[in-house]
């Protein structure tokens, strides 16, 4: 990853594709709605635990209007069309803790290329700079890609089951372990 700051970065995917990353903005409301419409029903189900055919204006406003501290999000944009979002990762602070809930979703045609992992690492660095020490994700058992993504971070994790959903807690207070070949 190259950039002065992980919140405005250029990520290099496994295939060499360069993708720009930046914080989400209120002006992304319609781009986020278009992104959602390009997702498969399966991807939407894994992220939202149900079918959400479209993002209402109110829901899109909630996702795009963040304070940058308690709630923040990063988007990756289409290399040939920077106004189009291809992935989103977000953090919502859990009150009375030094952590918060994490979520990530990648447009189907961009999945499997390392974008979710790279974007998550950028979000973790942003969370560390804000003083956070942990993230947790609520993950459906069939969401193998998300489970693997969190393991691939190389950070200490703990898994608990809450009402049939995995709560995967990741300690972000330490740097990642180097990858082993």
The pLDDT confidence band at residue 175, using thresholds 50, 70 and 90, is: low
Residue 44 forms part of a structural domain: yes
Residue 160 forms part of a structural domain: no
Residue 49 forms part of a structural domain: yes
- Non-local (6+) Cβ contacts of 82 within 8 A are 20
Model pLDDT, residue 112: 94
Model pLDDT, residue 5: 56
pLDDT of 124-171, one tens digit each? 999 999 999 999 999 999 999 999 999 999 999 999 999 999 999 999
**pTM of the shown model:** 0.91
Could you give the dihedral angle defined by the CA atoms of residues 79, 83, 88 and 91, in that order, rounded to the nearest 10 degrees? 130
| DSSP-assigned states of every residue in 65-94 | ---SSSEEEEEEEETTEEEEEEEEEEEEE-
Number of folded domains that form the chain: 1
- Non-local (6+) Cβ contacts of 95 within 8 A are none
Residue 86 forms part of a structural domain: yes
Question: Is the pLDDT confidence value at 2 over 60?
Answer: no
Residue 141 forms part of a structural domain: no
Query: Helices 57-64 & 29-38, crossing angle to 10 degrees?
Result: 110
Residue 81 forms part of a structural domain: yes
pLDDT of 39-96, one tens digit each? 999 999 999 999 898 999 999 999 999 999 999 999 999 999 999 999 999 999 999 8
Model pLDDT, residue 181: 46
Model pLDDT, residue 137: 97
Residue 144 forms part of a structural domain: no
Q: Which parts of the chain fold into alpha helices (H)?
A: 29-38, 41-48, 57-64, 115-129, 144-152
Residue 181 forms part of a structural domain: no
- Non-local (6+) Cβ contacts of 171 within 8 A are 133, 134, 155, 156, 157
Query: Helices 144-152 & 115-129, crossing angle to 10 degrees?
Result: 50
The pLDDT confidence band at residue 1, using thresholds 50, 70 and 90, is: very low
By the 10 Å C-beta count (0-12 exposed, 13-18 middle, 19+ buried), 142 is classed as: exposed
When comparing pLDDT for 75 and 176, which is higher? 75
CATH of the domain at 85: 3.40.630.30
Mean pLDDT of 19-44: 97
Model pLDDT, residue 136: 96
Domain encompassing residue 42: 2-132
């Amino acid at each position: 990853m190259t950039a002065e700051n992980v919140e405005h970065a250029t990520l290099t995917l496994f295939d060499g594709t360069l993708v720009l990353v930046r914080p989400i903005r209120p002006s992304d409301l319609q781009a986020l709605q278009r992104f959602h419409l390009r997702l498969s029903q399966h991807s939407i189900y894994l992220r939202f635990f149900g079918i959400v055919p479209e993002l209402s204006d109110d829901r899109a406003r909630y996702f795009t209007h963040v304070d940058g501290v308690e709630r923040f999000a990063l988007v990756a944009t289409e290399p040939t069309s920077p106004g189009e979002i291809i992935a989103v990762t977000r953090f919502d602070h859990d009150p009375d803790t030094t952590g918060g809930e994490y979520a990530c979703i990648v447009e189907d045609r961009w999945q499997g290329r390392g974008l979710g992992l790279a974007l998550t690492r950028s979000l973790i660095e942003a969370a560390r700079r804000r003083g956070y020490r942990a993230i947790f994700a609520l993950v459906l058992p069939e969401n193998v890609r998300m489970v693997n993504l969190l393991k691939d971070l190389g950070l200490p994790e703990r898994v608990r089951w809450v009402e049939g959903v995995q709560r995967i807690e990741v300690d972000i207070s330490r740097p990642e372990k180097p990858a082993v070949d």
